[in-house]
Each structure stands twice: as structure tokens, then as C-alpha cells.
Amino acid sequence: METVIDVRNLTKSYQDFVALHPLDFSLKRGEICAVIGKNGAGKSTFFKILSGQIEQTGGEMTFFSNHTEVSLNRSRKRMGFMIEEPTFFSNMNAYENLNYFRIQRGISEKERINDVLRIVGLSKNPKKKFREYSMGMRQRLGLALTLMSSPDCLVLDEPTNGLDAQGISDIRNLLLKLNKEQDITILISSHILSELQLVATSFLFIDKGKVVEQISRQQLNEKSKKYAKIIVADAAKAAQVLEMNFDKIDYRVMPDNELRIMSHIDHIGEINKVLLSHDINVNEIKVESLNLEEYFLGLGDGL
């Protein structure tokens, strides 16, 4: 499988401050990789180096097996970048804005404008000025701009920032469609981890400029700890019963009379029977896995 992005020992320093420690990362064709980290973790710095907005202090980058400075710039034409909220002309409509950037970037196919507006769902209001756009429409136009050069890879930093639930869902479905139908590889960051869990095929965890872990979706599913979720009528009484009847049981008392049992997963039937025998009504009992946010927070105290 072709490697789209490959970086080795990539670093970025500002005098005494190290924004990126030696970073190794590889992105294969067809992947949707989610970059996850808190504010200041180094995600945007990493994306800006990839896009050429800032220069790395050290290390090597390879795009589509090309690694010289000239070939990197050429390869970037096969990529679409949305690092910060795009700046458009407020008095122009979508077509006029995209046509301006088409000319600026030397894209010859004028008909591509209508294609990308249709792809992102902005073709129904062709005369509407950018200043009249909602946040969701602005993000869609930003995505349309990244698609103008028919890229093989998209690098998107917080593409759902500021959107409502419907807007987030629309962007998610659009990215999945681009990935599946047009085979576009995607590198994406977002603070909404539940959304990333719905789209990503791999995950890169960054903290304080360092890579903590890079794993596939399958590896994440295997490593996510399972727990028993039990909702009872009286969580305090249920906790006492569990401690009396099960040696070294590991559990958490959650809001709304929920208990999370981290150990004894293979004895759920017995746990249910014991609770019932002590007149504790069990409203729900099932085994679940940690979601992406819980896994992220559990990677270590440093996150």
C-alpha cells in the first residue's frame, strides 16, 4: 500500500521552546487518521509543517515517496490543506471566491468550481455572498477550496470547529464519502473525539510535542478495556454488596446510580444474581468498552 505521508525525526523549536520533539509518523493511502491531543500538544504545528506554512527545525518528510524540497512542493499540489479558518472575500459568492483562488493557484479547469460546490453541498445558493454564510456553510466552502486541485490527500485541522450538531454530522458524512468514493486519504484533528471515533481508521496521540501512541482502529478496539455497566436502584447499597461478596473488585460509582465494574467481567451473571439476592433492583447490565475520549484520558497522567 502506498505511503502518502512519511516523517522521520521531525522537530520544531522556537529558541528554548520545543514545540515538536522527534516525531515519526506514517500515513497509508486510503486511511483516515485522527490526530488527538490537548491544546498546545503540537497538532497545529505538525500540520503547518506538512503544509509548508512553517519550516521544521530538523527531520525529514516524504510525500508520495518524494522527499527533496522541490518534489515536496510538487507533491503538495496533490494535497488539500485546511489548517486555519480560510479567509474569503465577504462581498463575493462561493463561485467568485473559488475562481479567485483557482487563478491564484494556477488551476486551469474552471469547471472544477461547480464540481466542488456540488460535492460540498453549496451549489443551491450560487448568488449568496460569503458574509451571509452560516458557520457550517463557511466550513463547507473551506473544504471546497481544499478540493479544487482534485487532491489525493486532505490535511484538516479542526474542520468542525464552531459547528452545531447537524453541521458536524454533515461534515462527517462528507469526509466519509470522499474517502470511500474518491479514495481520498485524510489526516484530521478535532476536539470532538466522539466524531473522530466514527470516521477514523487510525489514531495518532500527541502530548507536549511528543507522540504517545499511533494505533489502528482494530488495535484501539483490542486495547480498550471492557467494563460492566450496571444501573441499579441504589448504587451505594450495591457497592457495599459487591465489596462483601467479591474479593478485590474494581469498580467506579458513576452518576445516576450507575456502577462501572472494571474487574470480574467474566462473572457478570454471578454479580447480577448476588445483587438480586440482596433485593437490589438491576435496571440494566451490559459489557461495554472505553470510548476514544476515555482511552485518551487513560493513556497517562501526562496527557
Asked whether residue 218 falls in the same domain as residue 229, the answer is no
Asked whether residue 188 falls in the same domain as residue 228, the answer is no
CATH of the domain at 127: 3.40.50.300
Within-domain flag for 289: yes
Which residue, 222, 239, 264, sits at the end of a domain? Answer: 222
pLDDT of residue 298: 79
Within-domain flag for 59: yes
- Partners of residue 29 on adjacent β-strands: none
Asked whether residue 273 falls in the same domain as residue 177, the answer is no
pLDDT of residue 302: 43
Sequence-ordered strand ranges (E) for 145-281:
153-157, 185-189, 202-207, 210-216, 226-232, 251-254, 258-261
Asked whether residue 167 falls in the same domain as residue 108, the answer is yes
Asked whether residue 112 falls in the same domain as residue 252, the answer is no
Which residue, 160, 193, 222, sits at the end of a domain? Answer: 222
Q: Which three cell numbers stand for residue 55?
A: 519550516
Q: How far apart are CA 188 and CA 183, in angstroms?
A: 15
Q: How far apart are CA 290 and CA 225, in angstroms?
A: 6
Which residue, 201, 222, 243, sits at the end of a domain? Answer: 222
Residue 147 host element (H or E): helix 135-147
Give 229-268 pLDDT, tens digit per residue: 999 999 999 999 999 999 989 999 999 999 999 888 888 8
Give 24-80 pLDDT, tens digit per residue: 999 999 999 999 999 899 999 999 999 999 999 999 999 999 888 888 889 999 999
3-state secondary structure of 248: coil
pLDDT of residue 303: 45
Beta carbons of 137 and 106 less than 8 angstroms apart: no
Q: Is 252 left (phi over 0), alpha (psi -120 to 50) or beta?
A: beta
Beta carbons of 130 and 141 less than 8 angstroms apart: yes
Is pLDDT of 301 > 50?
no
Q: How far apart are CA 188 and CA 146, in angstroms?
A: 13
Residue 254 sits in which domain range? 224-297
Amino acid identity for residue 213 in this structure: E
Look at the chain and report how many structural domains it folds into: 2
Q: Flag the least confident range among 69-78, 129-138, 228-237, 294-303.
A: 294-303
Asked whether residue 185 falls in the same domain as residue 254, the answer is no
Q: Is the dihedral of CA 240, 245, 249, 255 positive or negative?
A: negative
Q: Which three cell numbers stand for residue 167?
A: 453541521
Give how far the C-alpha of residue 237 lies from the chain's centroid of Cα atoms, to the nearest Å: 40
Within-domain flag for 202: yes
Maximal CA-CA distance, the chain? 76
Distances (CA, A) of 302 to 207, 224, 278, 297: 7, 19, 42, 9
